[in-house]
Structure 1
Amino acid sequence: MHIYVYFIYLIKNIFILQYILEDKEINVFHKKEGNMEMNKPNILHIFVDQQRFDTIGALNNPIIKTPNINRLVKTGVAFTNAYAPSPVCVAARCSMIHGQYPANTGCFENDLMPLDNRQTLMDVLTKGGYRTHGIGKCHFTPDALALKGFQTREVQEELGVESVENYPYMEYLQEKGYKHLCEPNGVRGEMYYIPQPSQLPPEDHPSQWIGDRTVDFIKENGDNNEPWYLFSSFIHPHPPFAPPNPWHKLYRPSQMPLPNIPDEFESLHTFVNKCQNRYKYRDNGFDKNLIRTMKAYYYACISFVDYQIGRILDELEKTGNKNNTMIIFTADHGEHLGDYRCVGKRSMHDSCARIPLIIKQPGKFDGGVICEEAASLVDLAPTILGAAELKMETHNMDGVDLYSLIKGDITRKYVFGQLNYNGMDFIDADADFENYVTNKECKRAAFSTYMAANSDWKYFYSAPDNREFLFNKKYDPKETRNVVSNPFYKEELKNIKSSLINHLKECGETFGIEGSDWKAHKLPPFTKDPDRGLLIQDGYTPWVDTYIPGYTDL
């Protein structure tokens, strides 16, 4: 009798265990050491800089070769209307790690991140028992070497440094004997938007180093009893577009498509577009062959990163971590790449503000699903912390857990964005305007661009131009016609504009608002001096000597 009861009990528990393991809502895995059961996944956060939303083969780009990102698309969830909260490096990353829009972080550009004690998602993960590590570009300000919640970092940044100390990639290059090398990520300044083969071979390229260190971390932590969060952050395809040999020949310029240049492209330009074209040496003529060469080299940079992602995914599988790891692939912002005859970022057009975002996690984010609901980088902190069953303690987050979004548990009308670019170098300011912008809030408002978007509509307002833009994304996915004055879209304009203004008011970001409308700031004219504002950015390796005897001193 006792044997019979025990047998029934055993069978019952086998069925319960089977149910738990098959339940797609639960991700249970066994660590090899100690046979420890945990329901907290590892989190691999793959981040790239300046990659457009439309540069993934499996998401309808027939030219680019991204077989490993395609693997994530085919097995995970791709959010095809994901946006940067600010289309520039520091502000986008700041919003991502705090889960807040710029109007709440106070970071609107490549400027200071919050200096108060608010937590980052890494703080919460570390406190919650995760092994946290950052590899590559974090772009933390004001301290580039700050941990901001990471337990450890291996730093690789895009500009030069004074010493190899605390910069392991620079130390690696020095040890390899690259005495001639001035700029490992490509020659900037006047060459910023001139495509160029890297001066480094593939095995020593910055993207390969990130791939190597990521693979090593997964090897070293494959059997850990504690879950880990790894931020693997590539500088490329950020310009200069400098893929290594022979990757620079993977795409040929004559086979690349022309940029998106609508008939009325100049009417779609904003102040920040003019500034970027100027300071990146691209406002004195438009060469379509140069643009196609840029695109070829830009695509090659992406494919070389994709190659690293393949190595990383393979290592996850080798170490038995494939099924217990949440994988996130995304970018900080996009790149115009000749669209509207513009280059650079900082624009609210889709080419800059819209980003790739793919999440893969067995039982939750899986099945090769396409999600067209609007998403944002501010959603990553609540999504990651939701997977880890942890909570932010110091502040409320603006984002949502994307798992709740794909399940349909929550809905929202729009995601938001703001950029503040200081354009004083590009205008002929009079004394009155100089006095006006001594108030930092007024200066921010005068140079800000504000955005609201979802899968159907995009609205943004450029304060320096005192102009509104509205795009019907269903009928005009390439954003070729501003329909803000179209009488048939009055209701849509009213709804999206009021939502954006209300968002800013709720955050206390009101210096650009007057009543229920935008405040006009009367910006002085754009300078006619063609050399004013040109970029000088020589970020050298610490060992380089630019002195040329007999020439430099003449």
Structure 2
Amino acid sequence: MPKNKKPNILHIFVDQMRHDTIAALGNPVIKTPNLDRLAQSGISFTNAYTPSPVCIAARCSMIYGQYPMHTGTYENRAMPQDGRETFMDGLKDNGYHTYGIGKCHFSPNSEALLGFEERERQEELTRLDLDKEPYLQLLKDKGYDYVCEPHGIRGEMYYVPQPSQLPESLHPTTWIRERTQAFLERKKDSDKPWYLFSSFIHPHPPFAPPNPWHKIYRGALMPLPNVPANVDSLQTYVNKCQNRYKYKDQGLDNNLLRTMKAYYYACISFIDYQVGLILDTLESTGQLDNTLIIFTSDHGEHLGDYNCFGKRSFHDTAARIPMLVSMPGKFEGGVTCDTPVSLIDLAPTFLNLGNANIKSHELDGEDLYDIFTGASKRDTVFGQLSYFNPRNSIVEDNDKVSPILRENEELWRASASTYMAVSKDWKYFYSAPDEQEYLFNKKTDPFETRNSAGLVFNKQNLLTMRHKTMDFLRNGNETAGVEGDQWKLFGKKIIPDDPDTGLLIQDTKMPWVKNEVKNYSEHNLDRMF
């Protein structure tokens, strides 16, 4: 290894992985020997949260080091277009080779670099020109251009567990690992430090592990979801929208639910296998001792808990994420840290490690090392999601939205927002579409089985967490949903009775879909959103 080289950064990222899916941290069913290896050598941040439980908003907050109220991205919508810097910009400007492999989900320009010097693109929603899609070009070259959806069949089968149509050697998860290993091999003798974003699409649905990985967990042996007796009182408007959106609000089958979990776990174990090969390459190339490794996810997945599916809510199943950090001499010891942390903390962590900075804006996060050592006095992290889209709402008829909201996007956003605050002891969130507060004691009710916001014994805890949330919003100028020391009321939102309203139609537009097939379809093969 070259002398006096700044530390490298290996940022392994996955999509939609729950916080409770690592064996070393207490899951007795799942097999994750290589994530266990990271947990046993480094620091496990066991109270890690997403700033917004949906793909684009979470990734946006992560790369800019800001909460949604400062990025302006609260959902799967456009990221800032004002030229602000990402932490990749800061690292690149301070001598780092910044390289991205896999899913970035940049919006509105999916090809943007946003501080990366180079990217090898793999996104589950694809484009037409193969010169911008190296993974798809590989599939075509290998004779797999009959596979319309290489990441799994979406649309009506989005939440139906399914074996991949591709062999293990060509699975999208394998490709990310191979390209990551190739980068590490190229950099082993380099004098220039590097930041590598190695980003897997799975275990995001569809849950489609390759053969024979789909057989390592058997549905009949899997535990059933967490469904408390008073489950209806724990579901929010956005949960109900997601259930409709994902074809999951018209009755449940326990055998299907257990098989779903088996395939989801198989996707995670398959990723774990790739992580092991990446760590082996890092070690064999002599770079392990000078590399910070972070493994984390953008958000979680309900996976049937609360009879819910998908993400987008602030229950722990969707909002709490795994976060493993390892580096000899800095993040080591195989210990856990239960101080709340967030994806917004990655930017200051990376920039401080690389002795770099950005000039375009202030960061909302704090260095994970300061949090771990107790140098940080912050005790609460926050989140926000706004489930609205002025252009095309999933279940809400925009023509029926009140003129006051239609003419004021800030109010409209607030009317569809959920706000979260989490400390070591308490989780609080408020759902404006339900006009409902939720409060959970993290010590006595870790599985969030009972909303205790209405208990007279918790009145002071409720007020404390509510005021923390409102003070946070006021300090960030996100005040459209706040009225004095109360939440502004906009009226409760209602899900349409028609069970076909708002179903997900999200087929992938592939460059090789045959015109003859298109002629048999009036709607779907050319449609993508």
Q: TM-score range by the shorter chain?
A: over 0.9
Once the two structures are TM-superposed, the CA of residue 437 in structure 1 deviates from its matched residue by 2.7
Is 1:530 the counterpart of 2:496? The answer is no
Note closer, same or farther for the CA distance 1:138–1:548 as it changes in structure 2 (3 Å cut).
closer
2:184 aligns to what? Answer: 218
Q: Partner of 2:402: helix, strand, or coil? A: helix
Which whole-Å deviations, capped at 9, do the CAs of 1:56-84 have from their partners, x for residues lacking one? 01000011010001100000000000000
Aligned with 1:121 (options 68, 78, 87): 87
1:508 aligns to what? Answer: 477
Q: Which runs of 5+ in 2 are unaligned?
A: 523-529
CA distance in 2, matches of 1:522, 1:454: 29
Q: 2:225·2:305 contact (CA, 8 Å) conserved in 1?
A: yes
Is 1:140 the counterpart of 2:109? The answer is no
Pairing 1:142-221 to 2, within 5 Å after superposition: 142-221=108-187
CA distance in 2, matches of 1:463, 1:264: 21
1:293 aligns to what? Answer: 259
Is 1:106 the counterpart of 2:75? The answer is no
Q: 2:339·2:379 contact (CA, 8 Å) conserved in 1?
A: no
1:243 aligns to what? Answer: 209
Is 1:438 the counterpart of 2:407? The answer is yes
Pairing 1:26-41 to 2, within 5 Å after superposition: 30-31=1-2, 36-38=3-5, 40-41=6-7
Q: 1:133·1:229 contact (CA, 8 Å) conserved in 2?
A: yes
Letter of the 1:461 counterpart:
Y
1:489 aligns to what? Answer: 458
Q: 1:365·1:403 contact (CA, 8 Å) conserved in 2?
A: yes
Once the two structures are TM-superposed, the CA of residue 551 in structure 1 deviates from its matched residue by 5.3
Once the two structures are TM-superposed, the CA of residue 162 in structure 1 deviates from its matched residue by 1.5
Once the two structures are TM-superposed, the CA of residue 494 in structure 1 deviates from its matched residue by 1.2
Pairing 1:256-405 to 2, within 5 Å after superposition: 256-405=222-371
2:526 aligns to what? Answer: none
Equivalent pairs: percent with the same residue? Answer: 57
Q: Which runs of 5+ in 1 are unaligned?
A: 1-29
CA distance in 2, matches of 1:425, 1:401: 37
Letter of the 1:507 counterpart:
G
Q: 1:421·1:448 contact (CA, 8 Å) conserved in 2?
A: yes
Note closer, same or farther for the CA distance 1:254–1:127 as it changes in structure 2 (3 Å cut).
same
Q: Partner of 1:37: helix, strand, or coil? A: coil
Is 1:460 the counterpart of 2:429? The answer is yes
Note closer, same or farther for the CA distance 1:552–1:451 as it changes in structure 2 (3 Å cut).
closer
Q: Partner of 1:170: helix, strand, or coil? A: helix
Bigger Rg over Cα: 1
Q: 2:146·2:512 contact (CA, 8 Å) conserved in 1?
A: no
Letter of the 2:4 counterpart:
E
CA distance in 1, matches of 2:356, 2:31: 37
CA distance in 2, matches of 1:146, 1:111: 15
Note closer, same or farther for the CA distance 1:400–1:260 as it changes in structure 2 (3 Å cut).
same
Which whole-Å deviations, capped at 9, do the CAs of 1:139-187 have from their partners, x for residues lacking one? 0011001000000000000113112121111111111111211001000
CA distance in 1, matches of 2:241, 2:518: 37
Which whole-Å deviations, capped at 9, do the CAs of 1:314-361 have from their partners, x for residues lacking one? 000100011000000000000000000000000100000000001001
2:219 aligns to what? Answer: 253
Q: 1:113·1:141 contact (CA, 8 Å) conserved in 2?
A: yes
Q: 1:131·1:229 contact (CA, 8 Å) conserved in 2?
A: yes
**What is the aligned-residue RMSD (CA, Å)?**
1.5
Which whole-Å deviations, capped at 9, do the CAs of 1:364-417 have from their partners, x for residues lacking one? 100101001000000000011111111222111111001011111112121000
Q: 2:237·2:494 contact (CA, 8 Å) conserved in 1?
A: no
CA distance in 1, matches of 2:137, 2:114: 23
Which range is displaced more, 233-242 or 113-122?
113-122
Q: Partner of 1:503: helix, strand, or coil? A: helix
CA distance in 1, matches of 2:207, 2:145: 22
Q: 2:434·2:493 contact (CA, 8 Å) conserved in 1?
A: no
Aligned with 2:29 (options 44, 49, 63): 63
Once the two structures are TM-superposed, the CA of residue 496 in structure 1 deviates from its matched residue by 1.1
Q: Partner of 2:139: helix, strand, or coil? A: helix
How many residues end up aligned between the 2 structures? 520
Q: 2:435·2:489 contact (CA, 8 Å) conserved in 1?
A: yes
2:525 aligns to what? Answer: none
Letter of the 1:120 counterpart:
T
2:45 aligns to what? Answer: 79
Which whole-Å deviations, capped at 9, do the CAs of 1:478-512 have from their partners, x for residues lacking one? 00000001111111111111111111111111111
1:27 aligns to what? Answer: none
Note closer, same or farther for the CA distance 1:539–1:430 as it changes in structure 2 (3 Å cut).
closer
1:52 aligns to what? Answer: 18
Letter of the 2:72 counterpart:
G
Q: 1:446·1:512 contact (CA, 8 Å) conserved in 2?
A: yes
Is 1:472 the counterpart of 2:441? The answer is yes
Q: 1:433·1:524 contact (CA, 8 Å) conserved in 2?
A: no
1:414 aligns to what? Answer: 380
Q: 1:428·1:526 contact (CA, 8 Å) conserved in 2?
A: no
Which range is displaced more, 233-242 or 502-511?
502-511
Q: 1:215·1:315 contact (CA, 8 Å) conserved in 2?
A: yes
Which range is displaced more, 430-439 or 111-120?
430-439
CA distance in 1, matches of 2:162, 2:278: 27
Q: 1:428·1:524 contact (CA, 8 Å) conserved in 2?
A: no
Q: Partner of 1:426: helix, strand, or coil? A: coil
Q: 1:170·1:541 contact (CA, 8 Å) conserved in 2?
A: no
Once the two structures are TM-superposed, the CA of residue 427 in structure 1 deviates from its matched residue by 4.0
Q: 1:428·1:525 contact (CA, 8 Å) conserved in 2?
A: no
